[in-house]
Amino acid sequence: MSEIVDLQATFIPNEGEFFRVKLALEIAIEEVTREPGCLRYELTEVSEDKLVLTEQWASEADLGKHSKGIAVQDLNESLSALLAEPVKLERL
């Protein structure tokens, strides 16, 4: 049996871009939550300049497919000019 994978991604928007970053993430959430193996993909507004996405995947294989999928590619493209720093991805 595969082990569940928990991740946390932190997004720091450029000044004035908070709502555009949030919208891009919300669009991605709608797509990603339908992907096989997605157990949790939930956005939290930590502050006016920080968003955290909590992810849970049924297996490493499911996470791998997600990471190479169109939803992640689209999200990365949407966020390319909106973030003050690279996304910080941590395994929990």
pTM of the model: 0.92
> Please, which residues have CB within 8 angstroms of residue 76's CB and are 6 or more apart in sequence?
none
CB count within 10 Å of CB 6 equals 14
Residue of 70, 92, 78, 66 whose CA lies nearest to 11? 78
Q: How far apart are alpha carbons 52 and 64 in whole angstroms?
A: 20
Question: Could you tell me which of 78, 89, 72 has the C-alpha nearest to residue 17?
Answer: 78
Q: Are 43 and 29 in contact (CB under 8 A)?
A: yes
pLDDT by position in tens, the chain (length 92): 569 999 999 999 999 999 999 999 999 999 999 999 999 999 999 998 999 999 999 999 999 999 999 999 999 999 999 999 999 999 99
Fold topology of 5-91? Alpha-Beta Plaits (3.30.70)
Q: Where are the domains of the chain?
A: 5-91
